[in-house]
Amino acid sequence: MKRILIIGILLLIVLFTANAQGFYFDIGMGLGGTTTELDGIDVSKLVGNATEIGLDLGLKAGYGPISNIPLYIVGTLGGVGHRFEDDYDYLQFNSYIIGAGLIFYPIPLIQIAGSIGFSWVANQTSLPMTMYYSDSGFAGDISVAVDLGKENHGCLIGLRYFRATNELKISRAEQTTSYFGVFVRYTYRHKIR
């Protein structure tokens, strides 16, 4: 099933980029509230007094606009991480996405984007315990941003929601990470005038 999905996404990218007018790229980071659940139990309730500020890093690259429609086809690589810590130890959860997405400009100043793809986790801790990794899972995100800038260079300032679900190795627990935050990204794009 995964191979069919990957082949389908690649075919769509090739078909749509045949009429693309230029290269698209963005990279940046954000901050926001993050929660991680293991088998439906919120980790913050297990560790007590904890902050759940997450860091969002990512990039997108692709082509667009397609014909004269302000639509871009992109590949996405990104991740969200957040840490619980005290004076002695830490517990960090990291969730990543690699996938395909669409970016649409309903007006030249506003960007709406969404991505879906494969997810994996790489958790870390200083505690004497094994933190588990995952094979592939599923992740998706959606964002809305103001696109500031002249010509092909710009700055995106916006809001992003991210969610990833993975089954951990060894324990087989289901880890679900949700993130909602603000971001700033540099973008290079060919805009329709």
In whole angstroms, what is the distance from residue 122 CA to residue 134 CA? 7
Span 1-14, average pLDDT: 59
Whether the per-residue pLDDT at 94 is higher than 80: the answer is: yes
User: What's the pLDDT at 180?
Assistant: 95
Domains, the chain, ordered by start: 2-188 (2.40.160.20)
In whole angstroms, what is the distance from residue 176 CA to residue 118 CA? 14
**Which residue is it, tokens 């800038």?**
149
Helices (H), the chain: 2-17, 43-47
In whole angstroms, what is the distance from residue 159 CA to residue 167 CA? 27
pLDDT tens digits for range 97-133: 999 999 999 998 999 999 999 998 887 777 666 566 6
Number of Cβ within 10 Å of residue 150's Cβ equals 7
User: What's the pLDDT at 3?
Assistant: 59
**Closest to 181 in 3D by CA, of 138, 145, 154, 153:** 145
More confident residue, 53 or 118: 118
pTM exceeds cut of 0.85: no
Listed in sequence order, the residues at least 6 apart from 66 whose beta carbon sits closer than 8 Å to its beta carbon are 16, 17, 19, 20, 72, 73
Read off the amino acid at residue 66: I
**Which residue is it, tokens 């957040």?**
82
